[in-house]
Amino acid sequence: MSGSQRVIHQYWSVRELFYHVLDGAVIVGALWCARLTLGGFREEDLLAALLAVIVFHVVAEITGLYRNWRGVSLERELLCAAITWFFTLPALVTLGYFVDHGRIVSRETVLVWAGMGFLLLLVSRSAVRWVLNRLRASGYNTHYYAVVGINELAFRLVESLENSPDLGLKLYGFYDDRPESRTGPVPEEIGQKLGNIEELVEHARQRRVDMIYITFPMRAEDRIRKILAQLSDTTASVYIVPDFFVFQLLHSRWTNIGGLPVVSIYENPFYGIDGFVKRAMDVVLASIFLVLLSPLMVAIAIAIKLTSPGPVFFRQRRYGLDGREIRVWKFRTMTVCEDGQQVTQARRGDPRVTRIGAFLRRTSLDELPQLFNVLKGDMSLVGPRPHATAHNEEYRRLIDGYMLRHKVRPGMTGLAQVHGCRGETETVDKMAKRVEWDLQYIREWSLWMDIKILLQTFWVVLRGQNAY
């Protein structure tokens, strides 16, 4: 078989076609409702509706709205639908200027249409998800699956599938040719071993099993090939679950290059719609914080200037996204401004800290100028805290995976900080713990996680623990 034939084919499913039609109907229905409130539906509105449906589906290809959302939270699906819709209307208005702005859609119609469309999109997708969940809970559209291999990966797979009832999958049992002395027992709360591979083939022929997951390690290639040959005599759908968990995954995801499947091991999670949402939240909140806190920042600047000689601000070289060097802004809190190949961390009772500096460090107010770094795009409100360049070069040689924390923008606060990892890192173990939290943040990131970290940060700052 030639290499060009070994590709992953993508196709339109009935589900995808259904959602295309549903969203089109929602967009037309939203415009109809909007026009009813503004004097009645016009014949010209049909052109606006048609253009909106086309633009929406183009934008949806960019945002990934028509991916398979089974196993993904409803909140993420609704967020993606909302962002797709609110990108569609500005594009439609822009298009109207090139056609006939007055006839395509009016400003008043756009505003009402935006609200109606937003509401109907959320309601329709929530309703579909609710109906599907109810049907699957009642046994409709349910498939039985078997797992080949009795190992930790198999148990994790079953646990994940059982925790996603919307997938409509039910475990039939485990199969393995090896004796229990080699594999160990299957935990009773997970399932049971039903037999060997020959018995699995027979059960698949009898259509007791619809889907089969093979969880053997990647090094067992010959063994997997033999099992696949046996299963080729059945009509069951067969999947191989790679044991990528032997690696330190960093927001792993599947993609393909020219039809060839590839999986990322070390990856930035903020691509596509996720990256847009996080950046938008950074810009909006940082702007609001700067407006609200500007009087306080002016007062701090005056206090620093009046109480000690030297500049108001301190800029230090640190590593940003992808390890690129950035200059991080802070209010000066010390009598020195170290930024060389050796930087001494602040310690409790450090004589270099000024009187006003001690207060600023204890309350983390010295970090406020980093809001400008956030607006510029060098930093994010939430992410791994950046360390001085000298410290990066020291710890990257001592801690495995240390530089992976730079796969995302550094943050003003982070998961490590709200879990007590603040202040001096006088031991390698302390820094390793901070890195562990940072990598967990990258692996498990969600918008809700960022919001929780921001809220927890206010409490951490009030407590003032390890801040000196």
For the stretch 331-358, pLDDT in tens is 988 876 665 565 566 666 667 888 888 8
According to the model, what pLDDT value does residue 101 have?
46
Q: Which two tokens stand for residue 340?
A: 């060389």
**Partners of 254 in beta bridges:** 263
Confidence band for 275, pLDDT divided at 50, 70 and 90: confident
Whether the pLDDT of residue 215 is over 50: the answer is yes
Average pLDDT over residues 238-252: 72
CA distance 127 to 167: 16
Residues whose CB falls within 8 Å of the CB of residue 185, separated by 6 or more in sequence, listed in order: none
CA distance 410 to 143: 44
Pairing of strands 260-263, 254-257: antiparallel
Average pLDDT over residues 208-214: 91
Average pLDDT over residues 183-197: 90
- List of domains in the chain: 7-137 (no CATH), 143-246 (3.40.50.720), 272-463 (no CATH)
Beta-carbon neighbour count of residue 220 at 10 Å? 14
CA distance 407 to 266: 8
CA distance 314 to 336: 9
Per the CB < 8 A criterion, the answer to whether 137 and 168 are in contact is no
Whether the pLDDT of residue 2 is over 50: the answer is no
According to the model, what pLDDT value does residue 346 have?
62
Residues whose CB falls within 8 Å of the CB of residue 48, separated by 6 or more in sequence, listed in order: 31, 92, 96, 104, 105, 109
Candidates 198, 199, 228, 202; CA nearest to 216 is 228
Whether the pLDDT of residue 5 is over 50: the answer is no
Whether the pLDDT of residue 233 is over 60: the answer is yes
Task: Express the helix, strand and coil content of the chain in percent, nearest 5 each.
Answer: 55, 10, 35
41-45, 196-200, 387-391, 445-449: least confidently modelled range? 41-45
Backbone φ, ψ for residue 146 (5° rounding)? -120, 155
For the stretch 287-312, pLDDT in tens is 999 999 999 999 999 999 888 888 88
Instruction: Provide DSSP, 42-76.
Output: -TTHHHHHHHHHHHHHHHHHHHTTTS--TTS-HHH
Candidates 122, 130, 119, 103; CA nearest to 45 is 103
Whether the pLDDT of residue 100 is over 60: the answer is no
pTM, 2 dp: 0.61
For the stretch 7-65, pLDDT in tens is 444 444 567 788 889 999 999 888 888 888 777 666 677 778 888 888 898 888 878 78
64-78, 316-330, 411-425: least confidently modelled range? 64-78
According to the model, what pLDDT value does residue 410 have?
94
Candidates 355, 300, 353, 358; CA nearest to 331 is 300
For the stretch 121-146, pLDDT in tens is 999 999 988 887 777 666 666 788 99
More confident residue, 277 or 455: 455
